[in-house]
Structure 1
Amino acid sequence: MDRRHKPSNILPPGEKLPAATVDIDEKRQTVSATLPNGDTVEVLLYGATVTSWKNGGGKTENVWVSEKAIWDGSKPVRGGIPIVFPNFGPPIKDHATSALPQHGFARNVRWEFLGSEKSESGTSSVKLDFGLYSSALPAKFREAWPLDFGLVYSVTLSEEGLRTIMTVRNEGSSAFEFQFLLHTYLRVNDISQTTINGLGSETYIDKVLNATKHEQTTPSLSITGEVDRAYIGVKQDTTSVLEGGSPRFDVIRDNLSDTVVWNPWIEKAKGMGDFAPQDGYKNMLCVEVGAIDGWQKLEGGDAWEGGQLIKSLL
């Protein structure tokens, strides 16, 4: 597959560097990796959810996780980078996913850690692979979506940033349809001083305004209240987050066409039992890349791949 932002070889030629380390915590059910420079990433096996990503020698946390997030597998984690698959939002009638819960099942089940790959030369990096297969789904989800599939989710930490890529394989003989989204919660210092660039003149569906369609008329978006917008068919690959006018994050889509921007603001935050602190909306911003406009159709035996690269610009 030829993609504009295809990852470079994780083992480039060059001088050898100290290798990253990988740690599996059986009690917490997490897999974490640390680069020689101190940057870290942590992934919870439940949902294959990225729950921490620190750069700057491990000092700067880049993702927001609720203080009341549930870690025991009884519900999806509030925060980090949950995976939305195979449906985005509430299930729709008369579709193969209509019996599934909101945002599908990928964030609701335990994934298998498939192993890691570390760079041995050139730029230091480490890739963690996680798998989810139809044969391992809990019965309730298998009955609701009785299709043969395989998912491989790759989380790569490097000095460049954090890359998260999903590969979807249709292991059956008949085609199926799916949607996919990475529900990334970025940590910001002050939402009132935060702006988003790269979505000017784009069309979006505004869920705050009864899912009506609009066009963004300004080059930058500021958050001054509840925001829940799904930008469809975004032309620019990069959505940039600025704090006080200074670059903070670049979110670069890879083989994905849509971007959701979400902040619950005051009232909605109060209504979520697992959202804490109540004013935590001031320190988080969701910039979510995905394929959610219609459905991706995957023929039997075929594979699809898409994801993102997030750069922390501090």
Structure 2
Amino acid sequence: MVERVNKPKPPTLSSTPGLPPQATVTFSDDNSRVVAELPTGESVEVLLYGATVISWKDASGNEKLWLSDAAKLDGSKAVRGGIPVVFPVFGTAPTHPQTKDLPQHGFARTSRWEFLGKSTSESTADNNTSANNEPTVKLDFGLSSGSPGLDPLAHAHWPFRFNLIYSVTLNPSSLTTSIVATNDGAEPFECQVLMHTYLRVNDITAIEIHGLSNASYTDKVDAGAAKTQTTTPLTITGETDRVYAPVEEAVTVAEQGRPKYRVTRDNLSNVVVWNPWTDKAQSIADFEPKDGFKKMLCVEPGAVGSWQAVEAGDAFEGAQTITLL
């Protein structure tokens, strides 16, 4: 039999006669990223390096995440923008025995993850994202202590057996990212988890952040001082780097007085709010354009206020859902 030279590739998820249109999932030519698109037009793009979400667009093609113009997407450096995955340490922890020698934000964002597969709303009918019969696609990614793409620094400085499953779920009105960190070894480990979400905004000076009333926080711009959010809503008027422990499970970002995003946490007790403002942006080599701080706001759900102890055979799970308002 003669093989067709230019045989077309079918979509990863194709339409079946008699069934509603389904999502399509495709790979880039160099297999470095996965793109999922709903039949209604929304899309999400995930780089296998770091399992980093680098794009999320609504049905009209409007981008919802901020990505630096100088972001490295070739696996040479953690991505500046999108949604990098932070594990097993937030920032650096020089006094924590298990993670003191790891680079900033750990190794999950600097490892190449494996694409484990996809599912659609028809096969995840019990998922609350499909409760309104909206089309949904879920992408699963994996990283473990035995992964060939694991950052060598992990082997050298974090000798624990682990398995991470990271899922990215897209529907017309929201994006959910969730992580399950399992301890596959005989020894307990401690970890921190964070989803370093860069939201795209039109004007940072017109932003209000609701849902932080009376929340305690650590002010990293003020030498780590412990404070309480006494004014509400929060506005951004200069460099901001705060680790909140909110009482409310959702934070709402409004622009020009109109709600824009709602970020809901599941088993993640903290929210980091970050914007580098003028001077800090100038000092970050891969932050471009330098006035890009005007167009972005990091609202980062995580479990970073303390260490999460994961016993042998146990797992830590956490998730965020970003809803368009």
| TM-score interval, smaller chain | over 0.9
Q: Secondary structure at the match of 2:278?
A: helix
| Structure-2-length-normalised TM-score | 0.89
The reply on whether 1:131 has 2:142 as its aligned counterpart is yes
Deviation at residue 17 of structure 1 after TM alignment: 2.8
Inter-CA distance 217–256: structure 2 relative to 1 (3 Å threshold): same
| Structure-1-length-normalised TM-score | 0.92
Report the AA paired with residue 65 of structure 1.
Answer: L
Deviations 1:217-272 (A, max 9, x none): 1120010100000002x210110000000000000001110000000000000001
Compare CA radii of gyration and give the structure with the larger one.
2
Query: Within 1, Cα distance between the matches of 2:163 and 2:207?
Result: 38
Aligned to 2:156: 143
Report the AA paired with residue 126 of structure 1.
Answer: V
Q: Secondary structure at the match of 2:274?
A: strand
Query: Within 2, Cα distance between the matches of 1:94 and 1:289?
Result: 22
Report the AA paired with residue 306 of structure 2.
Answer: G
CA RMSD of aligned residues (A): 1.3
Aligned to 2:36: 33
From 166, 185, 195, give the equivalent of 2:179.
166
Deviation at residue 173 of structure 1 after TM alignment: 1.5
Q: Secondary structure at the match of 2:281?
A: helix
Q: Which moved more, 1:132-141 or 1:290-299?
A: 132-141
Query: Residues 115 and 129 of structure 1 are in contact (CA less than 8 Å); yes or no, is this contact kept in structure 2?
Result: yes
Deviation at residue 16 of structure 1 after TM alignment: 5.2
Report the AA paired with residue 26 of structure 2.
Answer: D
Deviations 1:96-155 (A, max 9, x none): 011100110000110000010112383200000000000122433212000000000000
The reply on whether 1:208 has 2:211 as its aligned counterpart is no
Deviation at residue 28 of structure 1 after TM alignment: 6.0
Q: Which aligned pairs between 1:215-226 and structure 2 lie closer than 5 A? A: 215-226=228-239
From 305, 309, 312, give the equivalent of 2:321.
309
Aligned to 2:254: 242
Q: Which aligned pairs between 1:158-197 and structure 2 lie closer than 5 A? A: 158-197=171-210
Report the AA paired with residue 109 of structure 1.
Answer: S
Query: Within 2, Cα distance between the matches of 1:253 and 1:114?
Result: 24
Aligned to 2:279: 267
Query: Within 1, Cα distance between the matches of 2:104 and 2:198?
Result: 18
Report the AA paired with residue 160 of structure 1.
Answer: S
Report the AA paired with residue 296 of structure 2.
Answer: M
Deviation at residue 175 of structure 1 after TM alignment: 1.0
Report the AA paired with residue 280 of structure 1.
Answer: G
Structure 1 portions without partners, runs of 5+: 1-14
Query: Within 2, Cα distance between the matches of 1:58 and 1:274?
Result: 29
Report the AA paired with residue 222 of structure 2.
Answer: L
Q: Secondary structure at the match of 1:178?
A: strand
Query: Within 1, Cα distance between the matches of 2:206 and 2:318?
Result: 31
Query: Within 1, Cα distance between the matches of 2:167 and 2:42?
Result: 17
Aligned to 1:230: 243
Deviation at residue 295 of structure 1 after TM alignment: 0.4
Report the AA paired with residue 188 of structure 2.
Answer: A
State the identity as a percent. 52
Deviations 1:201-230 (A, max 9, x none): 100000110100100111200101000000
Aligned to 2:5: none
Q: Which aligned pairs between 1:7-156 and structure 2 lie closer than 5 A? A: 17-27=20-30, 29-55=32-58, 57-120=59-122, 122-136=133-147, 137-156=150-169
Query: Within 2, Cα distance between the matches of 1:163 and 1:172?
Result: 29
**4+ long deviations beyond 6 Å:** none
Q: Secondary structure at the match of 1:278?
A: coil
Query: Residues 17 and 123 of structure 1 are in contact (CA less than 8 Å); yes or no, is this contact kept in structure 2?
Result: no
Structure 2 portions without partners, runs of 5+: 1-17, 126-132
Query: Residues 40 and 58 of structure 1 are in contact (CA less than 8 Å); yes or no, is this contact kept in structure 2?
Result: no
Query: Within 2, Cα distance between the matches of 1:138 and 1:190?
Result: 37
Q: Secondary structure at the match of 1:236?
A: coil
Query: Within 2, Cα distance between the matches of 1:139 and 1:219?
Result: 44
